[in-house]
Amino acid sequence: MPTISSALRTVALAASLTVLLAAGCSDGGGQARGRGELRNPATSTPSGETGLKRLAAQKLKWRECPAPSEAEGGGPTPSPLPGGTPWECSFMDAPLDYAEPDGETIELALIRAHSVDQQKRIGSLIFNFGGPGGSGVAALPGFGPDFADLRTRYDLVSFDPRGVGRSVPVECEGNRELDAYYARDATPDDSAEEQALQKSQKSYTDACEKNSGTELPHVGTTSAARDLDLMRQVLGDGKLHYFGISYGTELGAVYAHLFPEKVGRAVLDASVDPTKTAEQSSLGQAKGFQLAFTNFARDCVQRAEKCLIPGNSVAEVQNWVIDLLQRLDEKPIPGIGERKLTQTLATTGIAQTLYSKEFWKYLEQGLDEADGGNGGLLLTFADLMNGRDQTGHYDNSMAANTAISCADFKDRYSLAQTKAKLPEFRAASPVFGDYLGWGLTSCDGWPVPGAWSHPDVSAPGAAPIVVIGSTGDPATPYEGTKAMAAALGEGVGIVLTYKGEGHGAYNGGNKCVRENVDGYLLEGRVPASGTVCG
């Protein structure tokens, strides 16, 4: 069930913030708009073989990477890594439906950078940065310098999962419609607003079915995990070496369940809780974002007069923010150009800034400016969350998020069922409870049934998998780390705890986390389960 997207947002913030907080002149348009295709069975593979064997034998044609497509978020062509190593891109053919491997195929977009030391090369290290719906092709170059140590022995590889970016992207509403969709009142207060929410949701769902109906049944996580195994074979690796972040931990764990004997060295950072239903996951996010907000408010109180937000206690800061959101519900304020900051967009912007402690200062500034009638900064962060660039174009990350989530999870919540759940959500988070509680309606009326109540990730016999959790993570609360490790199985799930804030620990600057992860991925040294880094 779609919630606040758990893609690793800090890289997008770091890459975009300087430009976005300036006058706002970046051009997301004019980029290559290529996408993977839906096509007849591939012809670029050896004849005489059928199905998956034929696809596993395909030879990829690597070329210089183009600029990210609009669906991937746009931007410049990826620059070479320090030392001059270029990024290369290709497409891999995969079955549209793994139940019919000789049927139609789709193209999945890949990106890679060769390892530094080919003589000591272990293989490919495949990354998924989360979402669901995040483009790995667009994200990996931004992380390149952070993964320099890992590139000493691995080719760095990522991809756009099916339904995402260039890989036959799910397409729903157009840009103008999406502006209205994300600005709508997503937390209705009366029957008229409830009907408007339902109408808006139906229009969005109908557009997804109209534009991507053929692909919607086949974008779930199980199919993506099978894509990973096909990718492993096509890249020539006997084992899958994998680094998954946020939703990428679920994808990697499902892979381990399906192909335990093929797991190589794998790391799951900012782990989801695979034992939870969609509703429980949303409730967990409500608690996680509330915790992050409380930590932000506590920091504000400790700085006293230096903080722009009034309040002598966490409760007073929280009540001030809730009052601001209520005022925006009654009367939106000027944002950017002709667009206004609504209550929904403001809540989205607040959530975006809580992904990293580094961005609390912008949350403080944005709230202060909104109180004064200027909603531009919070609207900027809401646009980052929703995948909108300054030219008004949206990437497809949120459309893919909905499609993948609804393909995965069985539960469908009607208006009445959702309203019955709201008190529990409000108790979990006075700030985000309504926002996330009403999100339960997102899959109501979806044209494709869901696959599970929660994924099975048991992986008996798999190699050790390092599962990392941050105690202050808002999007994937820390409790999910131990749940993931336990669900993977004894001797498989290895818990590594980071006592700190933010979503994702490896790139958070903690030396202990990096040394443990690098030691495992590069040298095979498995950390002791229960290791704590502070």
**In contact, 353 and 362? CB cutoff 8 Å:** yes
Cα–Cα distance for residue pair 79/481, rounded to 1 Å: 35
Q: Name which of 211, 144, 184, 218 is nearest 386 in CA terms.
A: 184
> Which of 257, 393, 454, 503 does the annotation list as catalytic?
503
Tell me the angle at which helices 397-408 and 191-212 cross, rounded to the nearest 10 degrees.
90
Burial of 206 (0-12, 13-18, 19+ CB in 10 A): middle
**In contact, 255 and 114? CB cutoff 8 Å:** no
Residue with tokens 């300054």: 390
- Would you mind telling me the total number of residues written for the chain in this entry? 534
Cα–Cα distance for residue pair 162/219, rounded to 1 Å: 6
> Which of 155, 383, 408, 473 does the annotation list as catalytic?
473
Structure tokens at 282: 């949303």
**In contact, 400 and 169? CB cutoff 8 Å:** yes
Distance linking the first and last C-alpha atoms of the chain: 33
Quick check: is 212 catalytic? no
In terms of DSSP bridges, do strands 123-128 and 38-39 run parallel, antiparallel, or are they unpaired? unpaired
Residue with tokens 């109408």: 199
Quick check: is 189 catalytic? no
| Helix or strand run (H / E) with residue 31 | none
Cα–Cα distance for residue pair 269/394, rounded to 1 Å: 27
Quick check: is 246 catalytic? yes
Q: Helix (H, G, I), strand (E, B), or coil: what is residue 13?
A: helix
Alpha helix (H) residue ranges in 304-359: 314-330, 343-353
> Which of 246, 281, 282, 356 does the annotation list as catalytic?
246
Cα distances from 206 to residues 202, 237, 405, in angstroms, run 6, 41, 16
Active site residues per annotation: 246, 473, 503
